[in-house]
């Protein structure tokens, strides 16, 4: 099928342009932030509204700085070593989820320590809201016609503007479904059980494993970045970067299940 006629730029006035990609980031962050607020009120978590308002700013910095640094480091380091100023040109694209994830982890840890909030309590709240941002981000990737899949003869294959003459897997939508919709539903089924909520870090572990597995699967259909290509055994950079997430997720789940600390046994009411 032909690629939908969607302009990546929603509105442009002279040099000023509003892009769907930027709106996707804003929507993901704002809706995720609002959802965390609802969860705090519903389950009476000891985190104030003022705390959450401040935390949003920290997360934005973590996502933008971490995402950009991760892309530079993991996906195109040689280019940016020779063109260091290009690393600042974020409007030209180039963001890494894994880098953004590291940025959010650092922001969450520092913010929690500063405000004396239990780190894993805040991490679990972020985990159940993160798929919202992932969904919007992947849909924006599709609108931009970037990060498309490999050539396919499937009837839903899409001929992307920059993907050549053959139809390709709309792998961005596969990711939106797995990392966004399905992972969100699963996590928010789990959070209904107090036994799971009080096991600090368990929801974070489930998110990490869920994302890592979803990304690993979709990479089987996604076209690797042209300047990287396939790695050892036909694997991709996205798959290799997902392995640590799965391992850390398993460790967090194991710790949440077997650790007998008081914070894992009692929920604020």
User: pTM to 2 decimals?
Assistant: 0.84
Separation CA 35–CA 30 (nearest Å): 9
Which of 185, 156, 59, 33 is CA-nearest to residue 112?
59
Q: Which helix (H) or strand (E) holds 16?
A: strand 16-19
Q: Is 222 annotated as a binding residue?
A: no
Helices (H), 145-236: 171-175, 183-190, 194-197, 202-218
pLDDT of residue 2: 76
For tokens 């000023």, what's the residue? Answer: 16
Backbone torsion region of residue 195, taken as left when φ is above 0, otherwise alpha when ψ lies between -120 and 50, otherwise beta: alpha
For tokens 């996707």, what's the residue? Answer: 24
Q: What is the pLDDT of residues 226-259, one digit of tens each?
A: 778 889 889 998 899 999 999 999 999 999 988 7
Quickly count helices (H) and strands (E) in the chain.
10, 2
What are 105's two structure tokens?
């982890």
Which of 196, 32, 63 is CA-nearest to residue 120?
196
Question: Do residues 176 and 138 touch, judged by C-beta distance below 8 A?
Answer: yes
Q: Which residue has the higher pLDDT, 154 or 84?
A: 154
pLDDT of residue 89: 67
Rounded average pLDDT over 53-75: 86
Q: What is the pLDDT of residues 141-178, one digit of tens each?
A: 999 888 899 999 999 999 998 888 999 999 999 999 99
Q: What is the pLDDT of residues 90-140, one digit of tens each?
A: 656 677 878 888 999 999 999 999 999 999 999 999 999 999 999 999 999
Taking only Cα atoms into account, the Rg of the chain, rounded to an integer number of angstroms, comes to 19
Give 193's contacts (C-beta < 8 A, 6+ positions apart): none
Question: Do residues 125 and 39 touch, judged by C-beta distance below 8 A?
Answer: yes
**Domains in the chain: boundaries:** 9-196
Mean pLDDT of the chain: 87
Cα distances from 248 to residues 73, 124, 211, 265, in angstroms, run 21, 14, 12, 22
Rounded average pLDDT over 191-207: 93
Rounded average pLDDT over 49-55: 89
pLDDT of residue 105: 92
- Give one DSSP letter per residue of 34-73, joined into a string: HHHHHHHHHTT-S--HHHHHHHHHHHHHHHHHHHHHHHHH
pLDDT of residue 268: 41
Which of 127, 117, 110, 130 is CA-nearest to residue 196?
127
What are 68's two structure tokens?
């950009």
């Amino acid at each position: 099928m032909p690629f939908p006629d969607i302009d990546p730029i929603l509105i442009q006035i002279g040099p000023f342009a509003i892009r769907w990609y930027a709106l996707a980031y804003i929507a993901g962050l704002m809706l995720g932030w609002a959802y965390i607020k609802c969860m705090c009120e519903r389950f009476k978590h000891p985190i104030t509204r003022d705390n959450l308002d401040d935390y949003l700013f920290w997360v934005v910095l973590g996502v933008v700085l971490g995402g950009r640094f991760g892309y530079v480091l993991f996906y195109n380091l040689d280019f940016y070593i020779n063109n260091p100023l290009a690393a600042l040109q974020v409007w030209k694209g180039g963001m890494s989820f894994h880098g953004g994830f590291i940025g959010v982890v650092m922001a969450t840890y520092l913010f929690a320590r500063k405000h004396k909030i239990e780190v894993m309590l805040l991490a679990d709240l972020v985990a159940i809201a993160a798929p919202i941002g992932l969904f919007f981000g992947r849909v924006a990737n599709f609108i931009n016609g970037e990060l498309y899949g490999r050539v396919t003869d499937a009837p839903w294959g899409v001929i992307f503007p920059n993907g050549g003459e053959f139809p390709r897997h709309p792998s961005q939508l596969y990711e939106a479904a797995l990392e966004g919709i399905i992972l969100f539903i699963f996590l928010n089924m789990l959070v209904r059980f107090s036994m799971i909520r009080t096991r600090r870090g368990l929801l974070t572990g489930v998110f990490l494993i869920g994302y890592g597995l979803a990304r690993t699967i979709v990479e089987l259909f996604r076209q690797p970045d042209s300047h990287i290509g396939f790695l050892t055994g036909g694997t991709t950079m996205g798959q290799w970067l997902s392995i640590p997430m799965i391992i850390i997720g398993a460790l967090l789940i194991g710790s949440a299940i077997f650790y007998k600390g008081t914070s894992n046994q009692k929920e604020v009411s």
